[in-house]
Every structure is written in C-alpha cells, then in structure tokens.
Chains A and B, each alone.
Chain A
Amino acid sequence: MKKLSARRRHPLAAVVVLLLALAATGGLYTAFAPASKAKADDSAQSLTIEEGKKLYEVGCASCHGTGGQGTTDGPSLVGVGAAAVDFQVGTGRMPAQQPGAQIPRKKVIYSQAEIDQLAAYIASLGAGPNVPTKNQYSPEGADIAKGGELFRTNCAQCHNFTGKGGALTHGKFAPDLEGVAPKHIYEAMQTGPQNMPSFPDTTLSSKNKKDIIAYLNAVNSDETQNPGGLELGGLGPVSEGLFAWIFGLGALIAVAVWVAARTAKAKKS
C-alpha cells in the first residue's frame, strides 16, 4: 500500500487514471448500451442522467472535476443548470480547445441528444435554469419595438446597436449575434456565460427576453432590411469613413486623373 500511495503522487498518475477511466467508461458503455435499450421502459430521466454522466466524465471532467465541483482549469458546474450546458456545448464553446482571453464559438461536436444528456446530468447536480421551451424563445408575437428599447438599455453597450459585437478589456469581446439560434440567445441572457452578466427572469422577464430575440431577428439576420444599401458591417462611422475615403474619394480621384490626363496623340509616322 505504501508503494501505491507514493505512486499516486507521481506526475503521470493523473494521466494513467484518466486512461483507466476512459477505458472503463468505454467498456462500461459497450457493456451497458445494449442492455439499457432492453430496459426501455425504465425511468428515462435517470437513464439520460446516467448517459450524461458518462459523456461528462469523458469530455468535461478533466477541467470541471469528476463531480462537476470545478478545478483550477474550469468553474464549478453545480447549480449552473441545463440552460448553461445547452448554451455552452450547443454553440461549440465547450469543450474548450485552448486557453485564451475568451473561449469562442466553434463547431459543435456533440449531437443535440448528447447535449440533452449532458444537460440533464449537470441539472441533477444542483438546481439551475432549465433549457427554455420553444414557446419561450420563439420571436413570434413578441413586441419588436419594446425589444429594441430593452436591447439598447441592457445589451447594446457590449453587443452594438444591432448586435454586431464589440470589444471588452484585454482581448475579450462581446460576439456578433447574427446567426445565433434564438434558444441560445435566451440561454445566454438567462445564464450569463463567461464574462457576460446574467439577466435572470426576476429582472428581465421571459416576455422581455422574447421581445429582445424578436428585435434581433428583425435587425440582425439574413433577412434584415438595409434600405440604404450596403450595411458596411453595421459598425457605424469608422467603416463609413473608410468607405468614403476608399470608394468615395478614391473613385473621384480616379475620375480626376482621367479628366486631367493628356489625350492620346496621333502617332508620328
């Protein structure tokens, strides 16, 4: 035993344990997967949690700890709720690839079913916001104008007037919201991912969130109308100024060169 406890402190021990755990999970998975199918009528909820736990142990535990209690590499997930998992994993932010000022949106590597399992497991660790229902986040029937006002009060300071994104301190940033699913926008407001503050229902009601989603849908999507023409990134005067210099004054100088140039002379023979 003494030998074993000494070896536990070896730097490589963690790796060995991880490998063993991986092998065990894989083995367990193959062992249980067909069986669980057979017992289909068993409590579906606890099964989902079981599956989620397995996925968690493979993909998340190295940073967030085996029980979701958090480590120096990742925060505790107890009480963050299913909505946070659905947002983080559903937008590809988790699992994180590399440390940096901020973990960006990436390709999603889990299927929605797997995300649901993970979410169910994390939700079982402690109460937190649930994944919103379609009824909650669907922009239909919402008040777009009220959403605009709410967006300008609560969101535009980081995400720009129409959600084009902006800079925060030390390389962090608020991302562009174009193409983000309404569900994920809802979840982000509810859970406050990374450095974004949360806007819980107590201060920004579910109806308010719906209005904001409807506003974003109107002003920052593929279908957004820009009556005046090119949007120029929707970034305001900086891109407008660049455009005026390059294409406005640039074109006029090109024209001036033509106006002032000598007309070709007849060739001397």
Chain B
Amino acid sequence: MSTTASNTTRSRGKEPAGEKVADWVDGRLGIYSLAKANMRKIFPDHWSFMLGEVCLYSFLIIILTGVYLTLFFHPSMNEVVYHGSYVPLQGQLMSEAFNSTLHISFEVRGGLLIRQIHHWAALIFLAGMFVHMMRVFFTGAFRKPREINWMFGFLLFVLGMFTGFTGYSLPDDLLSGTGVRFMEGAILSVPIIGTYISYFLFGGEFPGHDFVARFYSIHILLLPGIMLGLVVGHLILVFYHKHTQFAGPGKTNNNVVGMPLLPVYMAKAGGFFFLVFGAITAVAAIAQINPIWAIGPYRPDQVSTGAQPDWYMGFSEGLIRTMPGWEINFAGHTLVLGVFIPLMIFPLVLVAIAVYPFLEAWVTGDRREHHILDRPRNVPTRTAFGAAWIAWYFVLLVGGGNDLWATHFHLSINAITWFVRIGFFVVPVLTFVVTKRICLGLQRRDKDKVLHGRESGIIKRLPHGEFIEVHEPLSQEQLYTLTAHHQYEPVEIGPTVDENGVERKVGGTQKLRAKLSSAYYGEDGQISKPTVEEYKEITSGHGHH
C-alpha cells in the first residue's frame, strides 16, 4: 500500500518530534486536511470584528470560574444558622445556598475573586453580545449567507439572559429572592396555566424548598450546555463563511483580505483571550459586585428599595414598572393584563430585532451572497430602524431604574414613569426620523466629497478678489471606497393591466412589499450615488472647488 509505504519512510526520517506526533494524530483523525484549509485562513483586521471574541472569551471565563464555584456552592434551601466570619450576619437563619456563598466570599482564599470575576464576566458577556449584535446589524453582516448565524447569535443572547438570571438567583439573597418572587408573580399572571407552571416550578407554593436546586441544574447544566453547542456552531459557521470585510481597494465580494490565522491571528486572538481575562480580573480586584453579605438572606416579608435585576433584564423591569395596572375580572376568572402584557412584550422587543434580517431580505428580494459590509449611512432605513430599537430599549432601561433616576437627578418618580409611558411610543419614532435624516446627510457629504474633492483648509484668493477654499481631489482608493456600495432600485409592481387589457391581480403582500421597498430605496430612502458621468462632467470643467 502506498500510504503504509509513505508512512514508514516518514517515520524513518529525522523529523522533529512535533511532526511525529502530528503524523500520529493525522493517521487517526485526518487533521492535515483540516489544517490545510484553516491554518492559513485569512481574517480581516478591524476592532469591531473582535467584539465577538470579547463574548467568546468572557463565556470561557464564566465556564472556568463557574466550575470552580460549583466546588464550594451548596444548592440547598435548608435553613442553617450562620457561624462564619462576617460579623453582621452571625447567628442569623439563612439557606445553605446563602451560607455557602458567604463561605466562598469570606473563608475560601480567592473565592471572592473568582465570584467577582464570574459575575463581572457575565455582565460583560451580555454587554459584549449586545454590542456585537448591533455591529452585525448596522453593517448588514446578517445578510445571506449568514442569516442562520444571526439566529444562533440571537439565541445565545436570549439564553445568556436566562442563564444570567438563574445564576443571579442562586445565592438566595434578599435582592435575587425579590427577583424570583417577581418571576413567580409574572408566571401567575399567565391565563389558565399560570398557577400550574408556578406550582411545578417551585414544587408548590412560593418560595418552597426546591427552586435553588432546580435553578442550579438549569444554570450550570441545561442552559450552558445548549449555549456551548450554539457557540461551537456559531464559530464553525464563521470559519466556513469566512469573515466579512469593509469595502476598500482590492477587497471584493469574492475575496477576504487580511492576515493568516497562523501566526498572526493565533497570536492576536490567543493574546486577546488573555487580555480579556486579565482586564476582567483587574475589574474584579478593584470593584465589588453583588455583595450578598450586605444584602442579607432572603425572606419573603423583607425588601429593599432599589430592587433591580442585572442590566440585561433591565428592559423587562422597565416594561413591568411602567405598565398601567389593568385587570379584568370575568366569570370567576382574572386576566392580569397589567403583568401579562409586559410578559408578552418582553419577547416581542427581542424578536423585533431578530426577525429584521428576514424582513429586509424579503423587501430587497436579493438572493446573492454578501460579504462586503455596509456603512450604516448607506442603508438609512435599516440604520434608522436599529437606532430606533436601541432607543426603545434604552427608554425601557430608564423605566427599569426609575427610582435611581429620581433620587440622583432629583426628579419625581411618577414623572419619570409617565415619561417612559409616553416615550415607549414616541422616542423610537423620533429616533427613526432623526437617524434617517443624519444618514442621508452623510450620504450627501460623501457624494460631495467624491464629486468635488475634500476640503483642504487652504484658502486661496482669486485674481478678481474672491476667496475660495481649495478642494483636493480624492485618491482613487478613496473614490472607489466611497462609491463601492450597491444601491437597490425600488421594487415595481408593474402595470396592473396586462397587454390585453385584462386586470392582473396584485396581492396585498406584494403591495406592502412595493411600499416598503420604495420607503427603503425610493427618493426619500437614499441619495443616488455619484455616477461616472457626473464626476467626469465636473472634473473636466475648469477649476473644481
């Protein structure tokens, strides 16, 4: 056999030991063909392309520190008396979960550090996913062929929220317990099955003796397991699709320009893991997070003002705080709209942004692959939609923290609540309009730059006394970069009457699509980019300024 022969010849040679090991592995796993495709894989350089890495690394950090924490945490709600070293709690009754968290914080050396790294990394993980998702959104990186990866990313964000929430509830402290109570109240509001879900989740009445243990297995096993699978899938797809890139000289839809995985990205990405880990560790050394000893053990009859969830649940808190208390009683039943409506809007807020790529694909009808990123200004409607969504999200965050806004800015909490109630409807619309205008303005400026050159700052006096500013023509690289984007034409429904005078049926969805398309790509939706003819006419004329 030729392979055996070649193997024997290989082993006889005086290769370095590393190669021998690699040969051995390749003989069993076929790593060479995998390496051939990927070892010199090209990745483009841009800071915003590293946001996903921030998420990936903080996820790894969370897993590492989380495993450490499980070694000391007792997920049990048995009541014990505290005898540890934190004086202001000595002799207090508390659950074993709370007790063991105090033990991790005060008696296990480095335990507090790991706990703080775990929690800070979780907040940064979610914040990183949010920003990464927005980067992908505003640059249009979600377009074909990456829609599935967008969905993977979206699912990771949502699952991350719930993993965070369940983890936050584990220490069974007064703040998280209040959050769990809120969750129970929200579940109870679900028509027909609400009480059943609540009884099944808590093993009976709230709080019962089960929820910490149940949240524990959800937090450390079920959700992270699914997330790990999604992360792996997400990464495989990133490799398979190859990374997107911004338009620029030499960068086309059919190539990817950058530096190879080995060695540059191995060092940069590998190094970045340590940078992220180091930075989060430093934050955990300096800033305290979730000091459960100051918060105290959970008791359903105690509470503190400023009861908020971690930031990523803040928008749902805003929804619930600002909703009017509607309640309908009929035929012996209660429909708790004041809680149930926010509970239903909560997923809608997220889904609104998640399904956007499919809406846009439907409007454009574009079936091509897209590997060149959009500059947000070149797609004003999408950018305006994204900005409106962020504004919406932010208004709800303000609502979720209304009490702190009130105390820190000396405002009335009732006034803030009313602002959020109105802002919920008004702010996104305003943001949409303003953002679209700004985008169109920036497009006009780009067009001016292409046609008239950039302002050089040099003032020249003409013989007849007029002062002008000299405009320098752009380099060809810049001209190409500013004109490389594709502009869609609005979809036409076409004549509703065919050649023979017979009326053609036009469906409602088709009409809607045409309407949306003209909003996107009609005269109000974009500034037509400069054409070669316009450019030639101006440049051939005398003295462009």
Q: Which residues of chain A have a CB within 8 Å of any CB of chain B?
A: 101, 144-149, 152-153, 156-162, 164-171, 173-174, 215, 218-219, 226-232, 234-245, 247-249, 251-253, 255-257, 259-262
Contact = CB atoms under 8 A, between A and B. Distances in A.
B305 A260 contact: no
7 tightest A-B CB contacts, nearest first: A241-B311, A228-B288, A166-B305, A244-B123, A167-B406, A167-B403, A256-B50
Contacts of A165: 305, 407
A218 B87 contact: yes
Nearest to A171: B412
B311 A219 contact: no
A102 B267 CA distance: 60
If over half of B's interface residues share one DSSP class (helix, strand or loop), that class is named, otherwise mixed; here it is helix
Interface in B379-405: 400-404
Interface of B: 45-51, 53-54, 82, 87-92, 105-106, 112, 116, 120, 123-124, 127-128, 131, 174-175, 268, 271-272, 275-276, 279-280, 283-291, 294-296, 299, 301-312, 314, 400-404, 406-407, 410-414
A149 B420 CA distance: 35
Contacts of B284: 228-229
Contacts of B289: 228, 240
Given A162-B294, A228-B112, A260-B50, A249 B288 contact: no
Nearest to A226: B288
A255 B92 contact: no
A149 B297 CA distance: 9
A248 B403 contact: no
A156 B308 CA distance: 14
Given A169-B413, A219-B88, A249-B127, A244 B305 contact: no
A167 B403 CA distance: 5
Contact of A241 (B53, B314, B414): B314
A227 B288 contact: yes
A170 B172 CA distance: 32
A119 B401 CA distance: 41
Contact of B49 (A230, A236, A260): A260
Contacts of B128: 249, 252
A250 to B, nearest CB: 10
B413 A167 contact: yes
A229 B290 CA distance: 11
Given A161-B174, A170-B413, A256-B47, A234 B294 contact: yes
A148 B92 contact: yes
Contacts of A173: 406-407
Contacts of B287: 228-230, 232, 243, 247
7 contacts: A161-B294, A162-B294, A218-B87, A231-B288, A251-B283, A252-B275, A256-B50
B123 to A, nearest CB: 4
Nearest to B90: A145
B120 A248 contact: yes
B305 A238 contact: no
Given A248-B280, A259-B271, A145 B305 contact: no
Contact of B272 (A167, A169, A255): A255
Contacts of A256: 47-48, 50-51, 53-54, 272
Given A235-B306, A245-B311, 7 more contacts: A168-B413, A170-B414, A219-B88, A231-B288, A231-B291, A238-B311, A260-B47
